[in-house]
Amino acid sequence: MSSWRKFPTVYEINTWVWIAALSKKSGCRVTLRDIPSSEIDRLASLGCDAIWLMGVWERSAEARKLATEIAFLHTEYKKALPDVTTADIVGSPYSIHAYKVDEFLGGDEGLNFFRAELTRVGLKLILDFVPNHIAIDHRWVNEHPEFLLAGSETELQKEPQNYFACKENNQKIFAYGRANYCGAWTDTVQLDYRKEKTRQAMLDELLSVATRCDGIRCDMAMLLVPDVFTACWAGQFEGANQEFWLQAISETKNKHPGFLFMAEVYWDLEFHLQQQGFDYTYDKRLYDRLNEGNVSAVQAHLTGKWDFQSRLVRFIENHDEQRACSAFGARKSLAAATASLTLPGMRLFHDGQLEGLSSKVPVQLGRRKDEPPDASIFNFYKKLLSALSHPIFHEGSWQLLDPQAARPGEDSHKYILAHQWEHNGDFRLVVVNLCNTNVEIPAFKSNCEMHDLLSGKKFNEPTLSLSAFGCHILEPVATK
């Protein structure tokens, strides 16, 4: 396939939940091998660059068993799916038993067919890679325990929340997968990245995954940074190539030119992972500041250096976060979407976001409850995606603007986020009101009639009015 656009748009799908919904709609079992052509056409119509199929890899039987036994998870299940049954609990997609496509989803053959269908309509494919840990019943527990982080009887007694005695391997003690500031993921085993053989084994897995897609989203990618790893587990790294990502990304791109790496990353390590070779890194900071309504902090965040800003993943919803309509409220979510997803970097949409769904699906579930789509939200996103399909938002140059007060003594302009795109003599203005009151500001192009791509209205006044959480994507009328 051709190379990626500079600022691509990606659509995330919870694969198991999506397959279940398609099967229910069609009245028979659907897999990746036989996705209806109408669904392929729907995905193509979004104007995105790629589909991220979240959770295609083989699920762990032990992880599923644990997911049915943990009491607090059942509270989340019932909240998301009131009629949940044991059959709906399929286990975490981040407790990977093997890097082969789960047979329920159609196996490796099904994925190959689906990828070919995406290619036919001009879409790329992104898959998951989970580098920090493997399923608690992964074959390496018996075949290669040296790849895993071993523990002692003393550590097990002191920290039973972080270590376990493996019944599959003569009660040998291993660490659960975990991060410094999180509880352990008790359906996983921690890989020991201090060991050169472990790093090589995971590089081999990564290279295998790279043959089956056009890019990967790397789960909790910062956990492999040597300083981060040793802060959690202590010890020293073996060998010369201690920075896994630096070596892994270089080797993968040498074998697969144009392959894309996206990192889930937190703790202010975004720039470090960009330097390691990641094309794009999560921008959770922007998400949090938009959610808080801290407009000055949003503006300050966007003054960062271009090389950093242009490689961030912008989102207001994904499988880890609450649904945007629940987290922000419906009206504010649309303002936040316009503000975030028109910025430089990768733009990430989540299946169900466009329809205004409000119930977050725990990753351990294979089905979501029926929710009617919100027509007004869907129509808004249809216009937003249409506007974003223009090359100016993917290849243009970007500038953050400084809104001014409409009249002396007013300060409502401080709630406005505005930026501009230019490309081949054309431009777009994005103006968003991030507060719950009406705001008026001086127009940025006072002598130019402008057309709003979201509302269809035209503007040619010295001031620009925005309703509460209102937003405009403005183009000059002369370009039409």
**Which CATH number characterizes residue 61's domain?**
3.20.20.80
Same domain, 355 and 419: no
319 or 166: which leads in pLDDT = 319
Rounded mean pLDDT of 170-186? 89
User: Quick check: is 382 in a domain?
Assistant: yes
Same domain, 430 and 372: no
Same domain, 366 and 401: no
Same domain, 31 and 117: yes
Same domain, 21 and 121: yes
User: Quick check: is 178 in a domain?
Assistant: no
β-strand pairing of 416-423 with 397-400:
antiparallel
Q: What is the largest CA-CA distance in the chain?
A: 78
User: Quick check: is 347 in a domain?
Assistant: yes
User: Quick check: is 193 in a domain?
Assistant: no
Same domain, 301 and 373: yes
Q: Whole domain around residue 19: which residue ranges?
A: 9-129+283-389
Same domain, 342 and 454: no
CA gap 95, 76 in Å, rounded = 19
Rounded mean pLDDT of 409-436? 91
Structure confidence at residue 311 (pLDDT):
97
Per-residue tokens: 328: 């922000």
Which of 331, 355, 389 is a domain's end point?
Answer: 389
Q: Domain containing 459 — which CATH number?
A: 2.60.40.1180
User: Quick check: is 168 in a domain?
Assistant: no
Same domain, 455 and 433: yes
Same domain, 36 and 87: yes
Query: Count of residues for the chain?
Result: 480
Per-residue tokens: 14: 């919870």
Structure confidence at residue 480 (pLDDT):
42
User: Quick check: is 198 in a domain?
Assistant: no
User: With pLDDT > 90 as the criterion, what percentage of the chain qualifies?
Assistant: 88
Same domain, 361 and 455: no
Structure confidence at residue 411 (pLDDT):
81
- Picking from 9-13, 55-59, 442-446, 460-464, which range would have the lowest pLDDT averaged per residue? 442-446
Does residue 293 surpass a pLDDT of 60?
yes
Cβ burial 61-88 (10 Å sphere, 16+ → b, else e)? ebbbebbeeeeebeebbeebbeebeeeb
Neighbours of 436 (CB within 10 A): 14
Residues ≥6 apart with Cβ < 8 Å to 282: 262, 263, 264, 265, 266, 270, 312, 313, 315
Same domain, 317 and 381: yes
96-149: pLDDT as tens digits? 999 999 999 999 999 999 999 999 999 999 999 999 999 999 999 999 999 999
10-47: pLDDT as tens digits? 999 999 999 999 999 999 999 999 999 999 999 999 99
Rounded mean pLDDT of 298-305? 94
Q: Is the dihedral of CA 100, 103, 106, 109 positive or negative?
A: positive
User: Quick check: is 309 in a domain?
Assistant: yes
Q: How many structural domains does the chain have?
A: 2
- Picking from 85-89, 188-192, 252-256, 455-459, which range would have the lowest pLDDT averaged per residue? 455-459
User: Quick check: is 189 in a domain?
Assistant: no
CA gap 75, 58 in Å, rounded = 25
Same domain, 309 and 340: yes
Which of 389, 416, 433 is a domain's end point?
Answer: 389
Structure confidence at residue 417 (pLDDT):
95
Which of 341, 356, 389 is a domain's end point?
Answer: 389
